[in-house]
Structure 1
Amino acid sequence: MTSATAQGVAGRNKPTRSRYLIMVMLFITVVINYLDRSNLSIALPALKDEFDLTTVQEGLILSAFGWTYAAMQIPGGWLVDRVAPRLLYALALIFWSAATLLMGFGTSFAVLVGLRLLVGAVEAPAYPINNRVVTAWFPERERATAIGFYTSGQFVGLAFLTPVLNWLQHSHGWYMVFVVTGAAGIVWGVIWWLIYREPRDFKGANEAEIEHICAGGGLVDLGSQSAAKTKQTFNWKDFSLVLSRRKLWGVYLGQFCLTSTLWFFLTWFPTYLVKYRGMDYIQSGFLTAVPFLAAFVGVLCSGLLSDWMIRRGASLGAARKTPIITGLLISTVMIGANYVESTSWVIFFLALAFFGNGLASITWSLVSALAPTRLLGLTGGVFNLIGNLSAIVTPLIIGFLVQGGSFAPAIAYVAILALLGALSYILLVGKVERVTED
């Protein structure tokens, strides 16, 4: 064999890196996903003035997304186990983005609530799809980094684009916030349909990359399994299974506590800065970006640290749980914002707390590692259902807690939940190993 021929064979045997393109696509999708979740919080101060909303009504409209988002998690997870991500994600993106765009033409509180309910319902399969895609495309030792990278999209997108959306509202009116974010999602839905394929069907992935993913525990044949299950009906035994394991309840309850901090930042945070800390819209827009940047750094550190620990010989449980528990404990420092007056110190405590939230946000890596192989979508749906009940509870409880004119009880509430989340991972999850169906 000549040297040139040997090099050619070696090149063909070297794994391609198509999985990193998939990781970037998930990142972009998450950016859009979270812009469509948080754009209402940016427009809310202007909507409050235009529609003369009370604090309770503000809480209701902010929580509307969460009602349908949580309610549709089980059906959404069931769909993820049966419908290919290429089709399901494209449809979800286009429909929730269309509903977002229509919010820009809302003429009443009731219309805005109705559209927000629709956005929540159609976004429901998004994170179970993300988990399904990364489980198929990445070996175990790369998976936390992939999850950390695409999860960082929820923070970096908001960090850099929140000031832009604040400028759009200030210059062109609140309706443009919804029109621009909705239009972006529709375009990306079409692009996802055109590009995404399963690992064995993706032209850019060679056999060496497929073998690399398989050897590392990636489930590259989930696509064929999904196709085989499309005609199956809902099975209550499957539902009972994913609700009967203590270690799964550990991640379910931990996720509720983790996302309570996230939903404070996605809903009440801009109002907190404007109304309770006396900042104007432009100033608050730039200051809002600081905690999101901190969370972005936290989530990147989380994935890299977790996979580094695995490569250094740490157990899967230690590598996955250490960043999560540490991050939740760090998040409790947000209570310090109740005891300072300086804007700089307020932002410091909240940025540190959100850094901790980012550090803890690779929780989906535990779903990948714990869920029964046949029920990844359903387990992810239950996980996201219980976790995102906070999307309902957090805005509503904060709306009631701040009726007296002080935001301190709301900050304390979120900090206490972060502590309870850490205890859930410490006491309930136990050894990290895949749940069997025996």
Structure 2
Amino acid sequence: MEGLAAEASEPRYQPRRAWTITALLFVFFLINWGDKAVLGLTAAPMMRELDLSPAQYGLAASAIYFLFSISGAFGGFLANRIKTKWLMAAMAVIWSLTQLPMLFSAGFAVLVACRVVLGAAEGPAAPVALHGLMKWFPDTKRNMPNSVFLVGASIGVVVAAPGLAWVTATFGWRWAFGAMGIVGLVWVVLWWIFGAEGPYTGTQPSRSPQEGKAVEGGTRVPYRRIFTSGTWLGATIGAFAVYWGIAIAVTWLPVYLEAELGYSTLAAGNAVALTALVGAGALFGQGLLAQVLMARGVSSRWARGGVGGGAAILAALVLLASLQVGGGWHLVLLAVGLQLGVAITAAGPPSIGEIVPVAQRGGALGMHMALQTFAGILAPYVTGRIVSAAADPLTGFYTAFSVAAGIMLVGGAIAVLLMRPQRDAARLGIRLPTPTAVPEQRHP
């Protein structure tokens, strides 16, 4: 009886259910990034109708991040106490409702206000969803589902870019916002029906001797020690650096393609969709490579930190190279440079998950995402100021791309040097349990 009770206390890995939740969260993040991208994809006609200067548009693009980081940190800590199912449903409802005012004759002030509220609701999306997703997978199986979830960002642009460009060209730019609002409400209904909490709550001690000291869900480590660990700092700095380029790609790349390279609104949307495929490939590649390397005994320092940080360094070099060529190669290298480094954003959360108790994981991820996305406040506005202050817009864009490359190069190098999850877990005196899956059949 004691053996059966002990076995029953262990979490049960349910692959079918776990991947169903992963699919729902993938769509969740897809909508999340569609909501962000809609501003950039409607930028040209919107700027003409509302008579916005580049600096004003940069302010509107940055507005989504005014409360994004603060709410992301707050939401992460809140996820330690409230079910992720409820939090995510509430966030998606708010996203959807903030899109609808733009269907009507809303002007610049309403646009900025809606983007601020949207950002406050979207800030906690990634940390809360990742925290919930990790409840469905043991540590050694988290690389791919984490990457699949984050790929929703890139696929969101792939789907949204041509789709919203078509809506804009056919019905006007305001209906692009309306379409995102409707899609968001549909997802809320599906999530409320199928969403659930996973079994890996961290309250079960590991039986495996190599797992070290078991961490109970209630055991806590001072947050100052978590936030000053090399793994947390390296993952956060690296992700901030890469997010700088991602924010430019989402908000300014469509404007650059239309105003400076002469693309039509529809063609620019398709081009942005193609660049997002690079990000999707980088995320999938990181998850798959990390999974394979760890299965072969490679430490998470190299399987996660080395792969992610190395991708950021390579992205910076490619972005610099894109400024030296013209024609089609310019767009290809620009897309790779702005998107390849996104691999570090997939490597960071599972690395952080290795060094913190589950009871604190939401807060640790929330602060990580908050500082990462702080680049979203700075990058669009700084880019707008650079473009406005330059002798001509093309020169301004080239300067902005160079700045982004420098930031990514430094951030990637720091990530490679500092991300050492196993060392930091030992220094914190913990090991997160990785329980074995129990058989599918139930004992009588």
Which TM bucket (shorter chain)?
0.7 to 0.9
**Alignment correspondent of 2:102:** 103
**Alignment correspondent of 1:261:** 245
Q: What secondary structure is seen at the aligned counterpart in 2 of 1:24?
A: helix
**C-alpha RMSD over aligned residues:** 2.7
CA 77–197 in structure 1, closer or farther in 2 if over 3 Å, else same: same
Q: For 1:408-427, what aligned pairs fall within 5 Å after superposition?
A: 408-427=398-417
CA 195–289 in structure 1, closer or farther in 2 if over 3 Å, else same: same
Task: Give the letter for the 2:418 counterpart.
Answer: L
Task: Give the letter for the 1:416 counterpart.
Answer: G
Alpha-carbon separation, structure 2, partners of 1:32 and 1:40: 13
| TM-score, length basis structure 1 | 0.86
**Alignment correspondent of 1:3:** none
What is the deviation of 1:175?
Answer: 0.6
CA 15–100 in structure 1, closer or farther in 2 if over 3 Å, else same: closer
Can you list the C-alpha shifts for 1:267-299, whole angstroms capped at 9, x where unaligned?
A: 111001011212111221211121111211111
**Alignment correspondent of 1:117:** 116
User: 1:48 touches 1:54 (CA, 8 Å); kept in 2?
Assistant: yes
CA 200–327 in structure 1, closer or farther in 2 if over 3 Å, else same: closer
CA 355–72 in structure 1, closer or farther in 2 if over 3 Å, else same: closer
Q: What secondary structure is seen at the aligned counterpart in 1 of 2:142?
A: helix
Alpha-carbon separation, structure 2, partners of 1:325 and 1:242: 20
1:436 alignment partner, one of 421, 428, 434: 428
Alpha-carbon separation, structure 2, partners of 1:176 and 1:145: 35
Can you list the C-alpha shifts for 1:174-227, whole angstroms capped at 9, x where unaligned?
A: 1111100111111111211221112349xxxxxxxx99x99899xxx99xx6xx
Alpha-carbon separation, structure 1, partners of 2:20 and 2:13: 17
User: 1:326 touches 1:356 (CA, 8 Å); kept in 2?
Assistant: no
Task: Give the letter for the 2:387 counterpart.
Answer: V
What is the deviation of 1:340?
Answer: 2.4
**Alignment correspondent of 2:436:** none
What is the deviation of 1:373?
Answer: 3.1
Give the paired residue count.
403
Structure 2 residue 33 is matched with structure 1 residue 34: yes
**Alignment correspondent of 2:439:** none
What is the deviation of 1:15?
Answer: 5.5
Alpha-carbon separation, structure 1, partners of 2:263 and 2:429: 54
Alpha-carbon separation, structure 2, partners of 1:430 and 1:262: 25
User: 1:106 touches 1:112 (CA, 8 Å); kept in 2?
Assistant: no
CA 145–106 in structure 1, closer or farther in 2 if over 3 Å, else same: farther
**Alignment correspondent of 1:371:** 356
**Alignment correspondent of 1:319:** 303
CA 361–73 in structure 1, closer or farther in 2 if over 3 Å, else same: closer
**Alignment correspondent of 2:336:** 352
Task: Give the letter for the 1:377 counterpart.
Answer: G
CA 119–368 in structure 1, closer or farther in 2 if over 3 Å, else same: same
Can you list the C-alpha shifts for 1:121-180, whole angstroms capped at 9, x where unaligned?
A: 011211111221122111122101111111111112211331111011011101111100
Structure 2 residue 323 is matched with structure 1 residue 338: yes
Residue identity (%): 24
Task: Give the letter for the 1:379 counterpart.
Answer: A
What is the deviation of 1:346?
Answer: 1.8
Can you list the C-alpha shifts for 1:96-115, whole angstroms capped at 9, x where unaligned?
A: 11112223335211110000
User: 2:135 touches 2:199 (CA, 8 Å); kept in 1?
Assistant: no
What is the deviation of 1:314?
Answer: 0.6
Question: Structure 1 unaligned runs (5+)?
Answer: 1-12, 202-209, 230-234
Alpha-carbon separation, structure 2, partners of 1:241 and 1:88: 27
Of stretches 83-92 and 366-375 in structure 1, the one that deviates more from structure 2 is: 366-375
Alpha-carbon separation, structure 2, partners of 1:147 and 1:246: 21
Alpha-carbon separation, structure 2, partners of 1:214 and 1:166: 54
Of stretches 116-125 and 423-432 in structure 1, the one that deviates more from structure 2 is: 423-432
User: 1:297 touches 1:355 (CA, 8 Å); kept in 2?
Assistant: no
CA 54–16 in structure 1, closer or farther in 2 if over 3 Å, else same: closer
Question: Structure 2 unaligned runs (5+)?
Answer: 1-11, 431-444
**Alignment correspondent of 1:49:** 48
Alpha-carbon separation, structure 2, partners of 1:396 and 1:87: 33
**Alignment correspondent of 1:180:** 179
Alpha-carbon separation, structure 2, partners of 1:24 and 1:247: 28
Task: Give the letter for the 1:411 counterpart.
Answer: F
Task: Give the letter for the 2:30 counterpart.
Answer: V
User: 1:156 touches 1:292 (CA, 8 Å); kept in 2?
Assistant: yes
Of stretches 361-370 and 85-94 in structure 1, the one that deviates more from structure 2 is: 361-370
User: 2:128 touches 2:366 (CA, 8 Å); kept in 1?
Assistant: no
Alpha-carbon separation, structure 1, partners of 2:243 and 2:263: 26
